[in-house]
Amino acid sequence: MKNKLAILFSLFLSATYVALGQSHNYWTRSFNEESSLLSGSVVGGGAGPSAIYYNPASISEVKASKLSLNTSLFSLNFINIHNALGDHIDLGEAIGRVEPRFIAYMLKLKKYQTWSFEIAFLNNENVETEFLAAVDARENVLTGNPGDDRYVAYYQYYNKFKDEWIGIGASKKFGNRLFLGMSMFATIKTLKYQHSLDIQAYPLSDTMLVSDAGNSFHAAGYEELNYLSFTDYRLMWKFGIIYKWNYLSIGLMVTTPSVGVYSDRKSVQHKEQQSNITNPQTGLQMADYLITDFDTKRDVKVSFKTPFSVAAGLTYNFRDGRRIIFLSMEYFSGIDPYRMVEAEENPLLTAGTGGEKYSDWLTYVTGAKPVFNVALGYSWTLTEKLMLKAGLRTDFNYQKNLDFGQFAENVKIRKTNLDLYHFTCGLSWVIFGQDIITGVEYSFGRTANQTQFVNLSDPVEYNFMEHKALQGTRINNMTSTYNAIILYLGLSLNFGDKKK
């Protein structure tokens, strides 16, 4: 058994997968298919192998040692961002993946009947999003040219975020009604983010202004680049309690904020450049400038905060012994906007700005609003060996309309902040004494009236409202939609259980 666990653990750590999703939602994932098909509504009991995550007190519900290997067999994700880069300039992507998900071993020792233990390896989130777009148009942009200009813009967005958890947990049973439990997780959060925009505009006619240097070619340019990467190691704890009556059990679980341990693979870069831009109001050329800086490793400070949360749930068994209703809810505390990544600026970071000072140039900020989510599940035993499970849950975005206050002008990681809703349904089979679980999940979200990432559809030579060159003023007409279908396949190997 030790060899098998080592092999499975190695496979889990070496497997990678990506899914197009949102990293500003706490309940996007649910763990092991048994709880997934109930949409995670298992704080009051019935979590199975995912007890270490939802409520460690319910680890004691295990009747025998078992190894659980669960896989989201296939996921298909669609995202469309209408008017993201200006009117009728959209971003969109569809992606399908095979996804390993969750491994857990639950241990029940005959010598210590009131104690139960669990070790688990899970991926809380794995998001990879990439958008590439280009605009090549005839526009009258340049002030000094009476005719059309060629307007060329390249936009690139890349965001990869992984949040892997390794945990141990234990639960003790006090009589037949009271269960207490605790789990500890080491989390590994890895982020790689890049956002870049490169715009050029030049006249198409031979009638051009001649520069003082005598060069008849006049090309205006604007460029910006943001790059960030790090891996942050943290610790966190969960404490749970469950109390049971004949047909009802209630549970309460508290999750602590995480504590930073170590971070590495740190790099941060920020660049902005402008050249050959004429002031549309005066007709005079504006100053060219370059602001750029980069830092890495020990000089970069990383702090990825996570919230305090309280979850409560109940499980009600109907008197016929065949149907069960599950209800769970969780409150996540807010996190005041803060500097997630920061580094000292190089005193030589600017050129052509007239000595203007730039602070927090290598700082990325984030934060979170308080969030309250609810999940509802239903289980129906159709036969002795077949069970139907279904559920739904909310998954509200913790950065949607967040007020960053004093950090409003700082660099942030751009996201489409969507409230998501998840619906699940599937079957649990008992074959040769083992549990096999199959099912499907559908998720969707939509939000409208968001601010455009950039406006490339109505460019002007210089935008005084946003202090940006070769761009139009962004308006709030961006609409984002998200749809996903996930197929589940799970297997739990029971050791010593009497299922047949």
Distance of alpha carbon 322 from alpha carbon 20, whole angstroms: 37
The tokens describing 195, both together, are 């956002």
To which residue do tokens 């950039």 refer?
Answer: 454
Cβ contact 300:22 at 8 Å: no
Using 50, 70 and 90 to split pLDDT, how confident is the model at 215?
Answer: low
Of the listed ranges 30-44, 274-288, 414-428, the least confidently predicted one is 30-44
- What pLDDT, on the 0 to 100 scale, is given for residue 442? 95
The mean predicted confidence, pLDDT, of the chain is 87
Mean pLDDT of the region 242-268: 96
Give the bridge partners for 296, in sequence order.
267
Domains of the chain: 2-495 (2.40.160.60)
Q: 7: which residues sit within 8 A by CB, 6+ positions away?
A: none
The contacts of residue 17 (CB under 8 Å, 6+ apart) are: 97, 98, 99, 100, 123, 126
Distance of CA 402 to the CA centre of its chain: 16
- Whole-angstrom Cα distance, residue 171 to residue 102? 20
pLDDT per residue as tens digits for the range 321-363: 899 999 999 999 999 999 999 999 888 888 876 656 678 899 9
pLDDT at 387: 92
Cα angle, residue 479 at apex, residues 461 and 39 outer, rounded to 5°: 145
Closest CA to 483 of 91, 1, 26, 94: 94
Decide if 218 contacts 208 (C-beta within 8 A): yes
If we measure between CA atoms, which residue out of 12, 237, 5 comes closest to residue 123?
12
CA distance 201 to 180: 66
Distance CA 35, CA 187 (A): 21
Nearest to 217 by CA among 198, 232, 204: 204
pLDDT over 60 at 205, yes or no: yes
Mean pLDDT, range 34-50, rounded to an integer? 91
Q: Which residues pair with 317 in a beta bridge?
A: 324
Q: What share of the chain is helix, strand, coil (3-state, %, to 5)?
A: 5, 60, 35
Element spanning 4, H or E: helix 2-14
Q: What percent of the chain has pLDDT over 90?
A: 65
Q: When comparing pLDDT for 496 and 185, which is higher?
A: 185
